[in-house]
Amino acid sequence: MKSIATPQYSIHFNSACYTEFNTYLQNSNFSKIFILVDSNTHNYCLPYFLSQVATTQELEIIEIEAGEINKTIDTCAGVWSTLSDGDADRKSLMVNLGGGVVTDLGGFVASTFKRGIAFINVPTSLLAMVDASVGGKTGVDLGVLKNQIGVINFSEMVLIDTNFLSTLPQNEMRSGLAEMLKHGLIQDEVYWNKMSDLSQSSLADLDNLIYESVIIKKNVVIQDPHEDGLRKTLNFGHTLGHAIESYFLSSEEKTSLLHGEAVAIGMILACYISNKLTGFPTEKLKSIRETLSKTYGKVEFDDQDYLQIIELLKFDKKNTHGNINFVLLEDIGIPKIDCKVSNALILESFNYYMT
């Protein structure tokens, strides 16, 4: 697969990742290289990654606990201290080998350590390949509130090796698929149609679909890197999706949802609201609900849940001047940003989801 160039960095795929990375290391003069992993990627991905890297430089491994619950400023403080104790300086490089938690948190740690050191993302989950590792968003959660702290800062390169997906659990695959389905809904009906029926797809097809998703995301980010307008469309399904994810993370009784599982619900709710407010066609709403329900099943909510989820919307990062700004669709591929939605309609959308 051909590498993808952006104004700030390049994205390389599969075997090209290692050729490009090794050439980059040869041509750079890093004082030290740190590889950030979590407990899973340490076991499943690091040995293979190291076997592909050709350098005589010492590589220092930094490990964090896996899971969204650890995407915190406390974890960052631990990594900053390890960098400092390991004599990292401004000419050090950090390689983030992991899923979205590792690439988001690692990017943030690198962007702020000594006011910024170079970093490279090596996403190992589907979600990180098609979304988190691409586009320069870095950061951590604040309590259960998602990605409240962070900066936009671009990695030196992104290395997408889909071989890592062979050890990824099924629920993590589904989580990443949600972001790919979102790319279809906001940008490309043909892509949505391909994504909504994967029953006949092979692994090679999946590689091509990942590639298309990365192109869609890259094209949006190039036009609006700092999310002043168009990039907000990438948050389709995320306004309620993030609130649902935060609510489930904070609840003692509920089992946490993965990011994409919450976003899938958020997308059904946003399509329903779009049908009421922006003329999104009813038959497409029905077929989207069917497609998403087939993959993600149905999560149970009650009235108390709805109200608490709506309460969490006030923390959404797209809010301005006290307004909650939804991304809706006029049709598949025609998103509309900054839409105001009443609480009554949000409740109605939950009722639609539950029927």
Least gap, CB of 306 to ligand GLY (angstroms)? 25
For 244, the token pair is 């649902």
For 34, the token pair is 């740190």
Among 42, 71, 231, 289, binds ligand GLY (CB under 6 A): 231
Chain centroid to CA 129: how far? 8
DSSP letter string over 241-259? HHHHHHHHHH-SSSPPPPH
Least gap, CB of 135 to ligand GLY (angstroms)? 4
Closer residue to ligand GLY, CB minimum distance, 135 or 184: 135
CB 33 within 8 A of CB 58: yes
The answer to whether residue 137 forms part of the interface with ligand GLY (CB under 6 A) is yes
189-218: which residues touch ligand GLY (CB under 6 A)?
none
Least gap, CB of 218 to ligand GLY (angstroms)? 10
Closer residue to ligand GLY, CB minimum distance, 174 or 231: 231
Closer residue to ligand GLY, CB minimum distance, 135 or 266: 135
The answer to whether residue 234 forms part of the interface with ligand GLY (CB under 6 A) is yes
CB 41 within 8 A of CB 121: no
Least gap, CB of 183 to ligand GLY (angstroms)? 10
Q: What DSSP state is assigned to residue 223?
A: H
Q: Give the span between the Cα atoms of 46 and 40, in whole angstroms.
A: 9
Closer residue to ligand GLY, CB minimum distance, 146 or 284: 146
Q: Using only C-alpha atoms, what is the Rg of the chain?
A: 20
DSSP letter string over 143-184? TTEEEEEEEE---SEEEE-GGGGGGS-HHHHHHHHHHHHHHH
Query: Residue 64 in 3-state DSSP?
Result: strand
Closer residue to ligand GLY, CB minimum distance, 32 or 238: 238
Chain centroid to CA 207: how far? 18
DSSP letter string over 29-46? --S-EEEEEEHHHHHHTH
Closer residue to ligand GLY, CB minimum distance, 12 or 137: 137
Residue nearest to ligand GLY (CB): 234
| Count, residues near ligand GLY per rule CB under 6 A | 5
Among 107, 135, 150, 260, binds ligand GLY (CB under 6 A): 135
Closer residue to ligand GLY, CB minimum distance, 217 or 284: 217
Least gap, CB of 143 to ligand GLY (angstroms)? 20
Strands 93-98 and 59-64: unpaired
Q: Give the span between the Cα atoms of 99 and 337, in whole angstroms.
A: 28
Least gap, CB of 184 to ligand GLY (angstroms)? 15
For 304, the token pair is 């108390």
Least gap, CB of 180 to ligand GLY (angstroms)? 12
CB 104 within 8 A of CB 71: yes
The answer to whether residue 177 forms part of the interface with ligand GLY (CB under 6 A) is no
Residue entry with tokens 């306004």? 239
Least gap, CB of 27 to ligand GLY (angstroms)? 29
Least gap, CB of 352 to ligand GLY (angstroms)? 25
Closer residue to ligand GLY, CB minimum distance, 135 or 301: 135
Q: Give the span between the Cα atoms of 12 and 1, in whole angstroms.
A: 8
The answer to whether residue 32 forms part of the interface with ligand GLY (CB under 6 A) is no
103-132: which residues touch ligand GLY (CB under 6 A)?
131
Binding residues for ligand GLY, rule: CB under 6 A, are 131, 135, 137, 231, 234
